[in-house]
Structure 1
């Protein structure tokens, strides 16, 4: 019997939720007994809620301080956030249930955990509900709803935070961070031949946040290197970088907007400079590309740089002026430090995380689906 899984994700609050969803969906294609329906949770609240979701990019690009205030304020009153989202999505969500009739609901966005469970409880609809956390260390209270059947955590650190929030340990499964299969590769040690430029990639998540220009200048002024920069959806940043860097450094610099072949850029790079975005970090780790973390969004990303250093998955650069010293240390002794990072990345990454998550979802105990409790909007 085919199992229907409804995934509630988000297309506009960064690219991580969408990437995680895609990593699971690609595993389903090999399993004919599973059917997945994906919905952008914000779309269930009409244009008003969609505008809220779309505001994530501009806010994080323009003001980290404002984003920190929003993140911490909503963390203090998770029940109010749940009630607000519930009121916005209720009608569309119930109609969706009537159409899809899911055997299980998986949420990969914190705004649609407690809010959806509220609706299910009030309507007396019994459908297994599972949360998949998309952050590494600093997690929202909204991720940790005790009413969820299971919470899937990508890290031990996020699991421990859930336990602090009162989630029973037996209801939490640690899976590793799911990454799309095209990013996974197992490479050998770093070898930089004499006369060969160091190949660097500079990126900052789907929203293009960070001081990419200073990073590029420090690299190009101090090393024989080529640089590829991914500005993401930040069109103004892309234009600015093209104007300031291309005219000065010419073919040593390539600048991209939002790109779907980021894995090829990673495979072709010796080092990747990135913000502490969980998705970008783990895609680089899966591609076995050493990372230099140059910043993190306040709130959910604050401890991600320390997480990377803890497991020797990369190094942290707090100031662009430190780049010369950091690169020299990584390249010393024939790239000994760089090779240590690559070895640790290969040992750390769970290349089967997406498959493990899918198998867990398929094992979640079925419950009766009370179709009578779901109003029809047809």
Structure 2
């Protein structure tokens, strides 16, 4: 390995998760003195118009068009069907990755977005550069899968099992967790007794999200605001319309705090007793680090619904099917401290700290020995264009 390796990180701008993972990996690489890093939103750079259309569809899926997004998500999983639109998208991605690899001499490519453009390039060009996939959810989609990928980092043991069941060598997989900001690891399990011995005022944190995840948040607040022993904090993110509406309604209520975009989410989560949030891979990973009892909002079909199913199956969250179930779920957790403890205990069993450091430690050895984990390509489904 050269003293200062040059690294390409591929990301995507569908939601904030892939970008957050990218930022976390860059921060860890920078700590090691590695700064020669190129980031690429591969599909946007290859075809901005098509990417903007599909990105808008993704955002609308939180309020409208859920069935359309779910259709596209599950249709593009080749375990279920053969879907030609993805072939076209991957073709554009292949052209862009070919251009990037031609213009640069990368020592490593880290991918944080589900795509088959990398395997296409690997099969055709056979580069020596190690290609790494960092999965950003707790569920598997086949757009992550290919024997052409040299190494995988996954969120949980069940994902490793799923990958090996598809034929991926288990020696090419590390259960690292999903990279998140280091500040979330400050609040480890030593702080749990302090949480359990708080005074009688309980704190509820609602992460409303920027894309209208909750359609009638005001109604949920109305159902809960009468509880004098409950303080509600709502984080609206970049949703200024929601922030202004809630501020108008509740700015004079001492038991309700309305916040816009915040930079201290880890601290807010650690100070809270219950959190209501959507089932994104990053949000769930942050909750695992803090070990805060979770109520998950109704999930849109796709990776977030599959994430929610996993957390419900493993006893790490209460999953709601409609917004009418959220307030009763909050009240149930407040009345049942043993249930809250059960959720956090299960989280502890599935928590993998310092994911970025684990990933960087490993990938640096792959640069040193780029052929160590390589195998002959034998994908069960060959990609055609």
Q: TM-score, normalised by structure 1?
A: 0.83
Aligned twin of 1:18:
19
Match of 1:290 in 2: 293
Structure 1 position 269, deviation (Å): 1.8
Unpaired runs of at least 5, structure 2 = 372-385
| From 191, 215, 236, the counterpart of 2:197 | 191
Looking at structure 2, the residues matched to 265 and 229 of structure 1 have their Cα atoms a distance apart, in angstroms, of 10
Listed as ranges, the gaps of 5+ residues in structure 1 are 368-378
Residue 95 (structure 1) shift: 3.3
Query: Could you list the per-position Cα deviations for residues 59-103 of structure 1 after superposition, in whole angstroms to 9, with x for gaps in the alignment?
Result: 333222221112122224567455323432445433322444211
Farther-moved stretch of structure 1 (231-240 vs 27-36) = 231-240
What is the aligned length? 358
Name 2:376's counterpart in structure 1.
Answer: none
18-27 or 56-65, which deviates more: 56-65
Secondary structure of 1:62's aligned partner = coil
2:273 matches 1:267: no
1:332: how far off? 4.1
Instruction: Describe how 1:1-378 pairs up with structure 2 within 5 A.
Output: 1=2, 2-10=4-12, 12-32=13-33, 35-52=36-53, 54-55=55-56, 56-76=58-78, 80-81=84-85, 83-111=87-115, 114-137=116-139, 139-184=140-185, 185-186=187-188, 187-189=191-193, 190-194=196-200, 196=201, 198-211=202-215, 212-222=217-227, 224-243=229-248, 245-246=249-250, 250-323=253-326, 325-332=328-335, 335-364=337-366, 365-366=369-370
1:328 is displaced (CA, Å) by 4.6
Shift of 1:7: 0.8
Q: CA RMSD in A?
A: 2.8
TM-score, with length taken from structure 2: 0.82
Alpha-carbon distance between aligned partners in 2 of 1:81 and 1:149, rounded to the nearest angstrom: 26
User: Displacement of 1:307 after TM fit?
Assistant: 2.5
**How far does residue 362 in structure 1 lie from its aligned partner after superposition?**
1.2
